[in-house]
Amino acid sequence: MANRLVASHRFSPSIAEIVAEWNQMRKEMNRRVYEAAPVSATMNPETKRLLHEAKDRLREGRTADFRPVSPDIMEFVRQFFPEISEKTVQRNSLEIRNCMSTRDAEIAAGSPYRTYMELNDKGIITLFMRKIA
């Protein structure tokens, strides 16, 4: 602020001029607008194809086609729910993977808590934590 005052006033500025300069600086600071980085307008052809396929499936009223479930995930989830179907595992794959990674971290850290899964009547898995003895 001192540099601005010296540059704009040859002699000692009055209090009103200092206040006016201060207000001008605040206005300039508030006018700064965030400018996002430029985004490329091109899309990967494979990604574009997958998006079109998903859009077509939704228009036809079909649900998403899930990838096959890996054996290690099925083994893990069968510890909790022995009779669970693969389709239910596919729908809840995010919760199951989250439970797997969290439990591994808890065991490695020696935590007194464990993450568990609960399956409701609609086939939705909910995670919760329980203190172990």
Give the per-residue pLDDT at 7.
66
Alpha helices (H) along the chain: 2-8, 15-30, 45-59, 71-80, 86-91, 93-109
In a domain, 61, yes or no: no
In a domain, 97, yes or no: yes
In a domain, 54, yes or no: no
CA gyration radius for the chain?
Answer: 30
Give the per-residue pLDDT at 106.
93
Low-confidence ranges of the chain (pLDDT < 70): 1-10, 32, 62-66
Give the per-residue pLDDT at 113.
93
Let me know if 74 is exposed, middle or buried by CB neighbors in 10 A (0-12, 13-18, 19+): middle
In a domain, 113, yes or no: yes
CB distance 132 to 113 below 8 Å: yes
In a domain, 55, yes or no: no
CA distance 100 to 6: 64
Nearest to 133 by CA among 115, 117, 112, 109: 112
* pLDDT more than 70, % of the chain: 87
Give the per-residue pLDDT at 41.
77
Give the per-residue pLDDT at 17.
81
Q: Letter for the amino acid at 102?
A: T
In a domain, 58, yes or no: no
Q: Phi and psi dihedrals of 113, rounded to 5? A: -115, 155
Residue 90 belongs to domain spanning = 71-131
Average pLDDT, the chain: 84
Q: What is the pLDDT of residues 15-49, one digit of tens each?
A: 788 788 888 888 887 776 777 778 777 888 888 88
Q: How many domains does the chain fold into? A: 2
In a domain, 65, yes or no: no
In a domain, 43, yes or no: no
Q: Are residues 24 and 76 in the same domain?
A: no
